[in-house]
């Protein structure tokens, strides 16, 4: 039987990781086969050494996600728990690395699933991205976040006080149930123009 204690920096961090009224702990105990007890600013995890180790890695992953700016809610914690239980913790760390800073003073946007992460990577690396999928899967949300995150840099280029030529590329097109819903073409400055 092994016991590990994780100390939190403050009460908000403890609540974010363990849940309001510690509601995330029972599912963690069931998934990893451990016993978890939280008091004040610490979390004690007990059980077989390899199971305790896996649970500790999960909690540390949640702390990394929180510190990167990701909001820990029931969906996020459940998705993370399932990913760590399937030994996909490294993939989950990639989600937190795909932070999109939309605007100053606004919460950053993160992909919530591995499918959304693949969609963001496609937008970043492709000239044309077509997104097809059921309603409510984040197609518009992520495309708009990417477009918004690029807008401030385009505005700063326009304020340089010198002539500039902009081209529209890449094209973001979104389809829903076989019909085009939206299309956008972010501006990009052409080098040597002006």
CATH at 42: 3.30.1370.10
Q: How high is the pLDDT of residue 154?
A: 53
Q: How high is the pLDDT of residue 158?
A: 46
* Domain count across the chain: 2
Co-location of 93 and 160 in the same domain:
no
Co-location of 15 and 78 in the same domain:
yes
In a domain, 109, yes or no: no
- State mean pLDDT over 5-30: 95
Range in 17-31, 69-83, 146-160 with the lowest mean pLDDT: 146-160
Q: Which residues pair with 176 in a beta bridge?
A: 179
Co-location of 93 and 118 in the same domain:
no
In a domain, 106, yes or no: no
Task: Inform me whether the pLDDT recorded for 188 exceeds 60.
Answer: no
Q: How high is the pLDDT of residue 176?
A: 52
Domain that holds residue 13: 2-97
- Locate 81 and state its tokens: 């728990």
Co-location of 7 and 71 in the same domain:
yes
- Locate 185 and state its tokens: 């073409």
Co-location of 28 and 83 in the same domain:
yes
In a domain, 179, yes or no: yes
The alpha-carbon radius of gyration of the chain (Å, integer) is 21
128-131 and 166-168 beta bridge pairing: unpaired
Q: The pTM is what?
A: 0.69
Peptide bond into 117 cis (omega under 30): no
Range in 15-24, 122-131, 152-161 with the lowest mean pLDDT: 152-161
pLDDT digits (tens, 9 = 90+) for 79-138: 999 998 888 888 888 888 888 888 788 888 899 888 999 999 888 888 778 888 888 888
pLDDT digits (tens, 9 = 90+) for 140-152: 888 888 888 876 5
3-state secondary structure the chain: CEEEEEECCCHHHHHHHHCHHHCCHHHHHHHHCCEEEEECCEEEEEECHHHHHHHHHHHHHHHHHHHCCCCCCHHHHHHHHHHHHCCCHHHHHHHHHCCECCCCCCCCECCCCHHHHHHHHHHHHCCEEEECCCCCCCHHHHHHHHHHHHHHHHHHHHCCCCCCCEEECCEEEEEECCEEEEEECCEEECCCCC
Co-location of 122 and 185 in the same domain:
yes
- The length of the chain in residues reads 194
Task: Inform me whether the pLDDT recorded for 47 exceeds 90.
Answer: yes
CB neighbour list of residue 50: distance below 8 Å, 6 or more residues apart: none
């Amino acid at each position: 039987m092994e016991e590990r204690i994780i100390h939190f920096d403050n009460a908000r961090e403890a609540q974010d990781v363990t849940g309001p009224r510690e509601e995330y702990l029972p599912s963690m105990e069931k998934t990893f086969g451990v016993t978890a007890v939280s008091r004040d600013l610490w979390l004690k995890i007990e059980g077989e050494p390899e199971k305790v180790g896996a649970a500790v890695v999960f909690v540390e992953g949640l702390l990394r996600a929180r510190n990167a700016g990701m909001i820990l809610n029931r969906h996020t914690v459940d998705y993370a728990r399932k990913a760590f239980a399937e030994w996909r913790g490294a993939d989950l760390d990639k989600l937190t690395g795909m932070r999109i800073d939309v605007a100053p003073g606004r919460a950053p946007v993160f992909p919530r699933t591995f499918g959304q992460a693949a969609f963001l990577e496609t937008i970043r690396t492709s000239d044309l991205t077509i997104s097809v999928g059921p309603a409510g899967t984040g197609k518009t949300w992520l495309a708009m976040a990417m477009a918004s995150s690029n807008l401030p840099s385009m505005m700063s280029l326009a304020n340089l006080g010198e002539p500039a030529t902009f081209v529209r590329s890449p094209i973001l097109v979104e389809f829903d149930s076989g019909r085009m819903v939206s299309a956008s073409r972010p501006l990009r400055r052409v080098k040597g123009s002006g």
